[in-house]
Structure 1
Amino acid sequence: MNGADTRRGRVVLGGSTGFIGQDLARRWRAAGREVITISRHGADLTWGDQAGIDAAVDGADLVVGLAGKSVNCRYTPANRAEIFRSREETTAALRTAIGRAATPPPLWVNSSTATIYRHAEDRAQTESTGELGTGFSVEVARAWERALFTGELPGTRRVALRTAIVLGDGGVLATLRTLTRRGLGGTQHDGHWPIGRARRAAGTAHEFRTRGGRQRFSWVHLDDVAGIIAFLEAHPELEGPVNVVSPGAGDNRTLMATIRRALDVPFGLPQPRWMLELGAIGIRTETELILKSRWVAPEKLLAAGYAFAHPDLDEAVRASFTTAARA
């Protein structure tokens, strides 16, 4: 059985206002769990209220940390600093609360990212054989995991969720759906693009590697994010980094064709690197998010017996769009 007992008690959810956090809070409350949320705004507690966080964490059954400034932005010096700060300080606040707790939570799961692995076109990256990459995004992931695993917390098991792109009603799929309906749902092609010395030194520019839209696309459905966290509660043997990713990795060409089929859009204009770069500047994001080849496999979850609710990309995309249509 994948799910943990829904009669379990309090959850402390840090980073509750985002795409994943809102969904998890809704699910847990519907299951009858007490959920205490932490965010900069719109939550039960703010990150500046360490005493309140301490009280919420003491006696909780589960602590979940998802907080951090979105990487869907231009990697300016100010944004890079905030991306690091928002992850390290919020994770430290949870670690401090757990360390002070008279009754520490048995499990703390905290976000990381599958982007921690290198650009991979040759083989899937697993927890045991994966190779960590280089550059700004990888350094963010390393710092996030250091903040999680530093220090002794003998009463609490810690898991870093190395999460791939999450499919569901929102997030990246909402953007791709809009582009596809406007005729821009073709393959997104890598290519040559000038990289200045400052961006190269900061590790924020994507280097041309993959031809033909064959950059790998690892993903996981929102239902499985919730299912995996429940599975982790029920399986105390799992700890450390865990790849939160479907076993059915595809590539960009396949992804965009899948979205077109699901929306019954017969054609999508292919997008070369120069077009992607200009578009990324216009919407204040980075092309690395779609051009890096992310090929990641869920070794630990499969070995422990987790059964994915959405292992097939075509079905997962259609399920996401069906949920959006009902909303």
Structure 2
Amino acid sequence: MKIIIAAGTGFLGKNLEQFFLSKNQEVKILTRNPKRNNEIFWDSKTIGAWKNELENADVLINLAGKSVDCRYNDENKKEIYDSRINSTRVLQSAIDECKNPPKIWLNASSATIYIHSETHLNTEKTGIIGDDFSMNICKSWEKECFKLENKNIRKVTLRTSIVLGKNGGAFPKFKQIAKFGLGGKQGKGNQMMSWIHIDDFCEAVNFIIENENLKGEINITAPKPLTNEEMMKQLREKLKIPFGVPSPVWLLELASIFIKTETELMLKSRNVYPEILLENGFQFKYDDFGKALEKL
């Protein structure tokens, strides 16, 4: 297969690239700063020569979007929104101009589309979607992707939870916090943490590509979310750190100003279940956090 990954130089993109290259697939990366032979310039806003790569490609994966690990001021909010909507919109325009466009388009989304929930398990069918900045970003993002229906193009939005890997994402930060002795519960600690190991993330993307009956919104997360308090406890035990100072909400609010992030990233309860993947026979290598920790 020929696989195009838009904005594929980050944590998820690099791991997907290596995954597909290991299967002898051809991978092309659309990026603002091309440095390698398989990287093509795009600005994520306008159609350019990169459009030619979509012609006769099999798969398009769009991961574009400014990181939400920032302060939610007006400037950053606008960039978070624009980077997701504009990239999705320009890819749609490019696809519309192709004679032989990709057969499947997987567009990034987020498990944060669901409400803060400590008890209700959000599946694709039963998930409750609310109304705040983060949820509205996800709703607009998915709406833009599904706005137009193209014949013979299967569209999927990947409602992805926290992805855990050694070479990027959240896990190195969790590990560092625990090693500093600050690996206690964050806030009340009863917020649910939905997560997925990077290997299962890549396998899930491949599974969706290979199963032609899968389309629409799909939760990309391990089947066993756990509380923040339990997650940090298991991490401390694995690292043999005897204690972890808890972080009350007021302290997190203060710290988030200095490290330029938002407490929502740690305090929102993401209680998400991958019903569609499991119903269609996907098997997780790391279905509980303990197994994932062993690998990590």
Q: Same fold (TM over 0.5)?
A: yes
Between stretches 47-56 and 167-176, larger displacement belongs to 47-56
Which range moves more in the overlay, 33-42 or 277-286?
A: 33-42
- Asked if residue 14 in structure 1 is aligned to residue 11 in structure 2, the reply is no
Structure-1 separation of matches of 2:194 and 2:46: 37
2:186 to 188, 192, 205: 188
Establish whether residue 225 from structure 1 lines up as the match of residue 201 from structure 2. yes
1:311 to 283, 287, 291: 287
Distance 2:88 2:13 in 1: 15
Structure 1 residue matching 2:48: 3-state secondary structure: helix
CA distance in 2 between partners of 1:21 and 1:273 (Å)? 33
1:247 and 2:223 aligned: yes
Q: Give the C-alpha shift of residue 311 in structure 1.
A: 0.4
Q: Quick check: 1:164–1:220 contact (8 Å CA) kept in 2?
A: yes
Give CA-to-partner distance per residue, 1:112-149, whole Å, 9 cap, x none: 00000011112200111111022100011011101111
Verify: 1:44 aligned to 2:36, yes or no.
no
- C-alpha root-mean-square deviation of aligned residues, in Å? 1.1
Distance 1:44 1:263 in 2: 41
1:133-184 per-position Cα deviation (integer Å, ceiling 9, x unaligned): 2210001101110111111211200000000010111211111111111110
Counterpart Cα distance in 1 of 2:294 and 2:41: 36
State the identity as a percent: 38
Q: Which amino acid aligns with 2:292?
A: A
CA deviation map 1:51-79 (0-9, x unaligned): 32321111111000001000000001000
Paired with 1:250 and 1:23, the residues of 2 have a C-alpha distance of 25
CA distance in 2, matches of 1:302, 1:14: 27
Distance 2:46 2:30 in 1: 9
Q: Distance in 2 between matches of 1:72 and 1:51?
A: 29
- Distance in 2 between the 1:317 and 1:57 partners? 38
What's the CA shift for 1:49? 6.0
Residue 262 of structure 2 aligns to which amino acid in structure 1? E
3-state DSSP class of the match of 1:109? strand
Q: Deviations over 1:16-55 (max 9, x none)?
A: 1111011111222232211111122234222256232321
SS in 2 for 1:108: strand
Contact 1:66 1:111 in 2 (8 A): yes
Query: Could you tell me how far 1:104 is from its partner in structure 2?
Result: 1.7
Structure 1 regions of 5+ residues with no counterpart? 1-8, 190-211, 321-327
SS at match of 1:50: coil
Distance of 1:155 and 1:98 partners within structure 2: 12
Cα distance in 2, alignment partners of residues 275 and 41 from structure 1? 38
- SS of alignment partner, residue 4 of structure 2: strand
- 3-state DSSP of counterpart to 2:41: coil
Q: Which residue of 2 is the match for residue 267 of structure 1?
A: 243
Question: Is 1:25 matched with 2:14?
Answer: no
3-state DSSP of counterpart to 1:179: helix
Off by >6 Å, runs of 4+ in structure 1: none
Residue 97 of structure 2: aligned partner: 100
| Unaligned 5+ runs, structure 2 | none
For residues 3-28 of structure 1, what are the alpha-carbon distances to aligned partners after superposition, in whole Å with 9 as ceiling and x for unaligned?
xxxxxx11010111111011111222
CA contact (8 A) 1:168 1:317 kept: no
CA distance in 1, matches of 2:31, 2:89: 14
Question: What residue identity is the alignment partner of 2:150?
Answer: L
Asked if residue 132 in structure 1 is aligned to residue 108 in structure 2, the reply is: no
Amino acid at match of 1:27: F
Aligned length: 290
CA distance in 2, matches of 1:317, 1:100: 45
